[in-house]
Amino acid sequence: MSSPGVDVSYRGNSFLPQIVPSKPTMTAPSLFVRLLLPAITSAAISGALVLGCPARKVSPSAWAQGSGAVPLLSPSALPTTPLPAPAVPADTSGLMPPGTFTEDERNTIAVFRSAAPSTVFVTQKRVVVDYFAGTSEEIASGSGSGFLWDDQGHIVTNFHVIQGAQALEVTLQDQQSFEARLVGAEPRKDIAVLKIDAPPAALRPIRVPRAGYRVEVGQKAIAIGNPFGLDHTLTKGTVSALGRKVQGVGGVTIRDMIQTDAAINPGNSGGPLLDSAGQLIGMNTMIFSRSGSSAGIGFAVPVNTIARVVPQIIRTGKAEQVGIGVEIDPSQRLERRAGISGVVILGVSAGSPAERAGLQGIRQTRRGIVLGDVIVGIDDKPVETYDDLYNLLDTHRPGERVSLKIRRGNQILTLTVELIALP
């Protein structure tokens, strides 16, 4: 069977139809023009549109009249705008390979992993009573940071973090929360100790350096805390200065404070300040700022003060204070009113070292009140205010002797007095 102009034949055993020319036979150019030229022309136009250049029309007669091939596109129709040069890869020869850290970064990461489980979130709670509805609700009224001191559940934080609290809650890194009770505090050092009843496995005490550890200006300082309630936030800086005197919440200056440029914000109070070995070097306490946020000047209670005061609070519920057995007015109302420099002795306790040394307090006579002795120095260091007296005595221990300088009338006397622990 055949159709006009086409013969269908089967070659071999393939039974595949093959198109073969039949009579009258067409020339090759004629077949090319009728079958293939339209497809080639369409492809050329499409390619020209894609390339953004005009297509050149080719007439079928041009193919039929000559044996030479007619180009589909002339050289003038090709794009004239040069292609952009391939981008030069950035120089990464000085960069760290992905997933690697510098030595300082590795140290910071190691310190955080070591100390973060020792850092806690302290929340102060208060009971709000609705007398009209007859209901009460416990709400969070403040927050701060703290750190685990030992495996008995003792927590160290700032006194101002828990001041006036009706209830306290401590949250560990694993988000376990426990009710906390106040063991004791030393407002003049802004130190407070709390206690939680938690399983020993959940408690990882902070690392405290050995006695005599010295902090140096320029060494690395890492602060961990809960600024603005964002728990376990790390900031890094250096120890900027030592021996700063900063007015504390207890009415006297806290001396030997550590100054750091590690960012300390509201909520960081009570958190640990660490060295590159992950050891405690101070407790973040306050900042110098005009805006209330970190300005790069923060202060921390030094670890030597913490290590001395905290065991005293755990043992007796208060910090140990030494004295000589005299009555004084920490507010110094008489001194301010009379313009007196020094600390006026108001009275002398019976059987005290002060009585044995012959110190005299204010006396009442028929002519009125007679001023007694005024303390003006200890161990060749001047005493002008109660703040000076407290901080000078704070460097000593019970049983030690000091050289006490007093003013009696117009005379300056020097007496040796033994120090005792005040009740």
81, with CB counted inside 10 A (0-12, 13-18, 19+), is exposed
CA-CA-CA-CA dihedral for 195, 200, 202, 203, to nearest 10: 60
* pLDDT tens-digit map of 269-299: 999 999 999 999 999 998 887 666 667 789 9
Establish whether domains 220-316 and 322-421 are of one fold: no
Say which CATH architecture domain 220-316 belongs to.
Answer: Beta Barrel (2.40)
Q: What is the pTM of this model?
A: 0.70
* pLDDT tens-digit map of 67-77: 455 454 555 55
* pLDDT tens-digit map of 355-413: 999 999 998 888 888 899 999 999 989 999 999 999 999 889 999 999 999 999 899 99
Fold of 116-202: Thrombin, subunit H (2.40.10)
Q: Give CATH superfamily name and number for 322-421.
A: PDZ domain (2.30.42.10)
In single-letter form, the type of residue at position 205 comes to P
In single-letter form, the type of residue at position 246 comes to V
Q: What is the pLDDT of residue 117?
A: 94
356's CB contacts (< 8 A; 6+ apart) are none
36: helix, coil or strand? helix
Q: What is the pLDDT of residue 11?
A: 36
Q: Closest by alpha carbon to 267, among 110, 117, 119?
A: 119
- Give residue limits of the domains in the chain: 2-68, 116-202, 220-316, 322-421
* pLDDT tens-digit map of 169-210: 999 998 999 999 999 999 999 999 999 999 989 999 999 998
Confidence band of 14 (pLDDT split at 50, 70, 90): very low
pLDDT at 300 > cutoff 90: yes
State the catalytic residues: 160, 190, 269
